[in-house]
Amino acid sequence: MPAISVVIPVYNSAKYLRECLDSVVSQSFSNWEVVAVDDGSSDESPVILDEYAAKDARFKVIHKENGGVSAARNDGLAAAKGEYVLFIDSDDWVDENAFRVYWDEACQTRADVVITDHWTWKDNGTETEHRFFAQDFVVNDRTGIQALQRTVLYRGYSPYPSDRCSYMFSALWSKLIRRQLLLENEIQFSRTLKLYEDGLFALQVFHFAKSVAYRQVPTYHYRILNNSLCHINEQKLVTDSSNILSEVQSFMDATDKDRALESAFLARALFLTKKMALRSFFCKGAQGTFYRRYRAFKAILLTEPYNTAVEKAKTLKLCGNEKSFGKLVSHGLFFLTALMYELRTRIQRRWLLRC
């Protein structure tokens, strides 16, 4: 049995795929397998995967019709045989000692989950190191693990705040997970969520975990692609956000009897309203007049659970840009908030045109 199963969902990633796979082949720790799931790619990705599988028996390749990243990951999990599972995205890559760091920590602590840090890499060649927490730790009590669940929902609830923490703690590529924990508790990826499927999965993993270890060592290179951040179809992000909160609420209803996650959940809701403002309603390419978009945005803020999040914004542990956003909406200054984002976008558009 391999020590680590690496699950890699692949969809039209030929441009970056070799770098990803080479980073696995180059690991200083060799007891691993890769389960790569070709999710109906139309580029050279399937050929590249088969090439690596032909050269190295540790590579397993599954070719399937396109079904989305969650279905691909579930198929990868079903085929995995390792003691632990690690997820990697096909356009990212890992440090050469990543698996060794994970395995050594897992052996030393016997943790169900081992967490490490990451870098973010931009197309201009700059790379930034991020640290999720301010110190190493091992937690094996329910209160400590609930604190990690709250951090999955919103980083302001971190038990060990780090000023170098990114928004990526919900991502699974930072976590080595005992496979038996997933099997025993039938944990799979939601097939309905289009965003935050990692977060819901992580919440379930932490709920059932008995011990979690964190090492303040960066192991993962997360590539930030220059894709458009504006959802021209504003309703899509609204719908996706609603689905996220609905599924997380259902999870909390079933597991969070003492309501330990409620405040972090409301902070997540407020975070999503800010995201909708910046990426749907008041971004470059947004459709319709400003007043129509403002009214639609305000209507969302007045529905649940967003309305409760707005009302309790002053009591939430907000950080970064959410602080100012929370102050504005908590005072009912919806129009001023919308106008600020609209003007920000227009200024940015004019600056880009001049360039």
For 256-274, the pLDDT digits (tens) are 999 999 999 999 999 999 9
Mean pLDDT value across residues 183-201? 95
CA–CA distance, 124 with 20 (Å, rounded to integer): 19
pTM: 0.93
Note the pLDDT tens digit of each residue in 304-345: 999 999 999 999 999 988 999 999 999 999 999 999 999 988
Q: Which of 87, 126, 330 is nearest to 219 (CA)?
A: 87
Please tell me the predicted confidence (pLDDT) of residue 140.
96
Please tell me the predicted confidence (pLDDT) of residue 349.
62
Note the pLDDT tens digit of each residue in 35-63: 999 999 999 999 999 999 999 999 999 99
Mean pLDDT value across residues 277-306? 92
**Cα separation values, 153 from 17, 158, 263, 301, Å:** 30, 10, 9, 19
CA–CA distance, 154 with 271 (Å, rounded to integer): 8
What φ, ψ does residue 219 adopt, rounded to 5°? -130, -10
Identify which has the larger pLDDT, 304 or 163. 304
> At 10, which helix (H) or strand (E)?
strand 4-10
> At 81, which helix (H) or strand (E)?
none
Q: Which of 19, 6, 8, 5 is nearest to 72 (CA)?
A: 8
- What is the rounded average pLDDT for all residues in the chain? 93
Mean pLDDT value across residues 244-249? 97
For the chain, the domains span 4-224, 255-354
Contact of 223 with 91, CB cutoff 8 Å? yes
For residue 331, which amino acid is it? H
In SS3 terms, 107-118 reads as: HHHCCCEEEEEE
User: 4-224: which CATH architecture?
Assistant: Alpha-Beta Complex (3.90)
Identify which has the larger pLDDT, 105 or 286. 105
Please tell me the predicted confidence (pLDDT) of residue 44.
97
pLDDT range class, residue 234, cuts 50, 70, 90:
low
Please tell me the predicted confidence (pLDDT) of residue 230.
40
Please tell me the predicted confidence (pLDDT) of residue 157.
97
**What is the DSSP secondary structure assignment for residue 278, as one 8-state letter?**
I
Identify which has the larger pLDDT, 138 or 278. 138
DSSP string, 205-272: HHHH-S-EEEEEEEEEEEEE-------SSHHHHHHHHHHHHHHHHHHHHHH-TT-TTHHHHHHHHHHH
Mean pLDDT value across residues 121-143? 92
Within 8 A by CB and 6+ apart from 8, the residues are: 20, 21, 34, 35, 36, 37, 76, 87, 88, 89, 90
Mean pLDDT value across residues 198-216? 98
What φ, ψ does residue 268 adopt, rounded to 5°? -60, -40
Please tell me the predicted confidence (pLDDT) of residue 290.
94
Within 8 A by CB and 6+ apart from 229, the residues are: 278, 279, 283
Would you say the C-alpha torsion 224, 230, 231, 235 has a positive or negative sign?
Answer: positive
ω into residue 159 within 30 of 0, thus cis?
A: no
Please tell me the predicted confidence (pLDDT) of residue 334.
95
